[in-house]
Structure 1
């Protein structure tokens, strides 16, 4: 990868459902298909084209990770987190992770942007546990730090406010999937303090945290959580709302990259 790209990225951006086109915002890009990377997990979900896109964004060298893999696709959780280990080994010490999520907080309308301040690991899986996780060890001081960097989150929130975007803060619940949640599950997650729910992000954040990377999480609320939505949901709705807010997200992502080290 170093030979193909020729320089080290400073930041990784992991893109969720329908958000892959955000990589078009970068300049002077080099694209590496996931299929050409040994050991890289292949995504099987529509809207997740597997590739790494290296480029410049707001005078920062970045790598976009397109085509994330979910636990329900059958891969071990350690394999799901492999792209995070790869971009960190290439030099990235910051990670912006995005996703599309169902809104549990009843004040979150579709199109709301939510900065993740904490998460619930309802899939009860971690890349730090099991085969391939490495030897057991005591948690370091860095691992006691918040999973989502408070300073970067605050600066990003100000960028969103300056752009006039409907941005909130909240807790993201990770569930296994691929089925949507039942009404009972949504009620339970609401009681546990979740503001949004989805099927990704948390294993990548756990891996980045273990590697000492600074993390900012951003959810696009594309729909009410399944248990709250009259008439049911489908993946096309997720992609439709993601497309509608794409322009605002591109502006916001540029601002988030710009203030990462402020």
Structure 2
């Protein structure tokens, strides 16, 4: 059984620590995934904290995940950026993976922009596409909301009929068109445990169940953000697209490289979203 009292105390300790070090609250939370850690360079930074210094934050162990919480102003909005995340395949539970999002929700964030790098499943996609999530499938076998519920944090059974905020998604597609980013698409994201990459048969199965892109992250954080009542926008950089009938090797270094190439376009899009974001 999950020790809810201990978990609540850990979250509240992290909340108090961060609150004592920021000058103003923030309204937007942005989580940056594999190969997508540079957005903070565009921010007017007030405070940067290493995850290792924040009480009870897990340790970031994956390459390209810097492990910093950066707070400041971006495109006129008070913003907290999570440079890097934790993953189920690192040995963390879904609750531990989503710990930072729970903390930042309690610090006042009302909008979450969750990004990742994934593999394309939709045969019409191309490497470098940015997919706006319109739905997801959770195949982790774990859920960060499992166990006793803290009613003050959110409902026991959160509704997921519209997991991704329609207004944010529509704004993103409109801005992509305005910016000439024709490679921005939309689709369903499936989260798998990893760390092994998909076999041809698994790729075929994931296509059959309706997924357009696959990755090993984001869903635990998204579930906690929704539980906390936040508006959520999900963005996945499609690093590669594999045809299960003509399968090619998938190398994690290639995924990081492809995500890094797409990062300037993703950064441009996120900055414009923030500039037009309404409370």
Give me the TM-score of the superposition, normalised by structure 2: 0.88
Partner of residue 139, structure 1 = 157
Q: 1:79 aligns with which of 96, 100, 104?
A: 96
The aligned counterpart of 1:68 is 85
Tell me which residue corresponds to 1:51: 68
Q: How do 1:93-242 and structure 2 match up within 5 A?
A: 93-130=110-147, 134=150, 138-139=156-157, 143-144=159-160, 146-165=162-181, 166-225=183-242, 227=244, 230-242=247-259
CA contact (8 A) 2:28 2:110 kept: yes
Q: Deviations over 1:153-197 (max 9, x none)?
A: 001111111111111110000000001011111111111110000
Q: Indicate the RMSD between aligned Cα atoms, in angstroms.
A: 1.8
- Give 1:228 shift: 6.5
Secondary structure of 1:220's partner?
A: strand
Cα deviation for residue 147 of structure 1 reads 1.0
Contact 1:186 1:228 in 2 (8 A): no
Residue of structure 1 in register with 2:272 after alignment: 255
Q: Measure the CA separation in 2 of the matches of 1:173 and 1:243.
A: 21
1:116, 1:74 → 2: CA distance? 26
TM-score by length of 1: 0.94
Tell me the equivalent position of 2:4: none
Structure 1 stretch 194-203 or stretch 145-154: which is displaced more?
Answer: 145-154
User: Do the aligned partners of residues 226 and 69 (structure 1) sit closer, same or farther apart at CA in structure 2, a change above 3 Å counting?
Assistant: farther
Q: Using the alignment, how far apart are the partners of 2:257 and 2:113 within structure 1? A: 22
Q: Unaligned 5+ residue runs, structure 1?
A: none
In structure 1, C-alpha distance between the alignment counterparts of 2:245 and 2:83, rounded to whole Å: 30
Partner residue, 2:54: 37
Gaps of 5+ in 2: 1-17
| Separation (CA, whole Å) in 1 of partners of 2:145 and 2:264 | 36
Alpha-carbon separation, structure 2, partners of 1:64 and 1:13: 5
Distance 2:105 2:245 in 1: 38
| Counterpart position of 1:14 | 31
Conservation of the 8 A alpha-carbon contact between 1:17 and 1:239: yes
